Amino acid sequence: MYSQQRLSHAMLFLGREGSGALSLARAFVQYIVCDKHRPQPPSTASLFGEPEQEDSDTVLTDSCGQCPSCKKAAAMAHPDIHFSYPTISIKKDRPTLSTDMIVEWRKFMDEQPYGNAYDWLQHIDAENKQGNISSAECLDIIRKLSLKSFESEYKFLIMWMPEMLGKEGNKLLKLIEEPPAKTIFILVAENEQLVLPTILSRTQLVKIPSLSNHEIENGLISRYQVESSRAKQIALMCQGNFNEALHQQLHLEDNWETTLRDWMNTILKTGPAAQVKWVEEVAKIGREKQKQFLLYFNHTLQHAVKISVMAENITDFDGVDDKQQGMLDFAARMGRLCNLAQLEAIITEIDRAAYQIERNANAKMLFHALTIRLYHIISNKSLILMP
């Protein structure tokens, strides 16, 4: 698009969490503002009738990373590159804008370039507050993009998580449809269904594929020095989500197998008193670890399906360490305890619980309810799921 000068004025980069869509949008914009390969005017004959030499820098397939424009873009300090993202109310006398939190945003991008909205809200200590892109933010976007560009040929707006743009987003429709000259919108979203249809219809959709297991495994080994066998296990668990892979890497020492065994024992053997005690302990470990525990359980159940339904033996899994072997043994027992419908019902419940944890559900209430549901699914052979 860039080399043929067919840049769309409004694009939607659509990629699942952990696919790197936001990092790609930043790299794309940096590529455009790079001083070393901006499109040159068509070559014309010189005074003596000989064509002018083309600048070899114009064939670069990526930004140089060294020119002043690249350095400013990488530091998120370029005057023609604007960012918009969910914020929370800080001051009572006026709404909070993205520019008010630019310092926090730069730090977040440096530390968690693959982070999701939950990670961002935790980074700014949102607690139970819900982030959004407000009406005041939309008006500020209109104001900023009405100005002329300072250094680059283009001016840009990268909006992250347009899913959090409510009906206030309709204020941007005219600007998106008929933007000022040399103005480019890049919206970075994870869920197409949550983006306002009026905005979606005015953008060019660019789908960003999820990372492969091999790419995630190599990234963990080369960038974070994770042991090869552990990196392979994490890559299988995170399903193309590099953000989840990084969270898993931080919790390598957590003994989820013991926690899971204790939970199942309270459900099937020791009864309500033990269940209450277990829930109280899990409620203390924090939302991120709770989410990682549920992800581990879900991964174990997936192995249970493979072992029971596809008739795989736990000895068919090569290159596993003792910790992985313990998880496979537990998965085999779950496969013998539950049929396919039961395993599917449990997986559905675990997915729903992880989703609710990300949205600040009360941990005690959530795990109490989840324990009761798993008891009915496993012990009573009941597959009745609450909506």
Residue 47 pLDDT > 60, yes or no? no
Residues 334 and 300 sit within 8 Å (Cβ to Cβ): yes
**What is the model's pLDDT at position 330?**
84
**What is the model's pLDDT at position 33?**
94
Give the pLDDT mean for 157-175. 93
**What is the model's pLDDT at position 176?**
93
Instruction: Supply 375's token pair.
Output: 């008891």
Residue 386 pLDDT > 60, yes or no? no
- In Å, how far from its chain's centre is CA 112? 10
**What is the model's pLDDT at position 250?**
75
Q: Which residue do the tokens 């919206």 mark?
A: 187
**What is the model's pLDDT at position 125?**
87
Residue 342 pLDDT > 80, yes or no? yes
Specify which residues 14 forms β-bridges with.
Answer: 189, 207
**What is the model's pLDDT at position 57?**
44
What gap in Å lies between CA 242 and CA 212, rounded to an integer? 10
Look at 319 and 9; give whichever has higher pLDDT. 9
Give the pLDDT mean for 367-379. 91
Give the pLDDT mean for 78-94. 91
Residue 320 pLDDT > 60, yes or no? no
Q: At residue 111, what is the residue type?
A: E
**What is the model's pLDDT at position 367?**
95
Quickly count helices (H) and strands (E) in the chain: 16, 5
Instruction: Supply 119's token pair.
Output: 């990670």
Q: pLDDT-derived band of residue 321, with 50, 70 and 90 as boundaries?
A: low
Least confident of 9-18, 103-112, 231-240, 280-289: 231-240
HEC string of 268-302 equals HHHCHHHHHHHHHHHHCCCHHHHHHHHHHHHHHHH
Q: DSSP secondary structure string, 94-146?
A: S---GGGGHHHHHHHHHH-TT--HHHHHHHTT-TTPPPBB-HHHHHHHHHHHT
Least confident of 158-162, 165-169, 247-251: 247-251
Residues 332 and 312 sit within 8 Å (Cβ to Cβ): no
Give the pLDDT mean for 100-122. 92
Query: What does each C-alpha distance from 58 to 46, 207, 323 come to in angstroms?
Result: 20, 27, 52
Residue 380 pLDDT > 70, yes or no? no
Give the pLDDT mean for 130-152. 92
What gap in Å lies between CA 209 and CA 248, rounded to an integer? 21
**What is the model's pLDDT at position 305?**
85
Find the Cα–Cα–Cα–Cα dihedral 266, 272, 274, 277, rounded to 10°: 120
Residue 258 burial (CB count, 10 A): 10
Residue 151 pLDDT > 70, yes or no? yes
Mean pLDDT rounded to a whole number for the chain: 85
**What is the model's pLDDT at position 242?**
94
What gap in Å lies between CA 279 and CA 267, rounded to an integer? 11
Q: What percent of the chain has pLDDT over 90?
A: 53
Residues 325 and 300 sit within 8 Å (Cβ to Cβ): no
Residues 371 and 266 sit within 8 Å (Cβ to Cβ): yes
Residue 45 pLDDT > 60, yes or no? no
* Long-range contacts of residues 61-68, Cβ cutoff 8 Å, at least 24 apart: 62/27, 62/31, 63/27, 63/30, 63/31, 63/33, 63/34, 63/36, 63/37, 64/34, 64/35, 64/36, 64/37, 67/34, 67/35, 67/36, 68/35
**What is the model's pLDDT at position 317?**
47
DSSP H/E element including 160: strand 155-160
Specify which residues 157 forms β-bridges with.
Answer: 82, 185
Instruction: Supply 335's token pair.
Output: 């496969």
Q: Which residue do the tokens 């499109």 mark?
A: 39
What gap in Å lies between CA 84 and CA 204, rounded to an integer? 19
Q: pLDDT-derived band of residue 369, with 50, 70 and 90 as boundaries?
A: very high
Give the pLDDT mean for 217-236. 87
Residue 8: name the closest of 110, 156, 147, 216 by CA.
156
Q: What percent of the chain has pLDDT over 70?
A: 87
Residues 63 and 102 sit within 8 Å (Cβ to Cβ): no
**What is the model's pLDDT at position 291?**
85
Least confident of 166-170, 240-244, 321-325: 321-325
Question: What is the number of residues in the chain?
Answer: 387
Q: How far apart are the first and last CA of the chain?
A: 45
Give the pLDDT mean for 303-327. 63
Least confident of 179-188, 293-302, 304-313, 374-383: 304-313
Residues 90 and 96 sit within 8 Å (Cβ to Cβ): yes
Query: What does each C-alpha distance from 351 to 87, 92, 182, 283 come to in angstroms?
Result: 26, 37, 43, 18
Q: At residue 132, what is the residue type?
A: N
Look at 360 and 240; give whichever has higher pLDDT. 240
Q: pLDDT-derived band of residue 204, with 50, 70 and 90 as boundaries?
A: very high
Give the pLDDT mean for 71-86. 96
Instruction: Supply 346's token pair.
Output: 């449990």
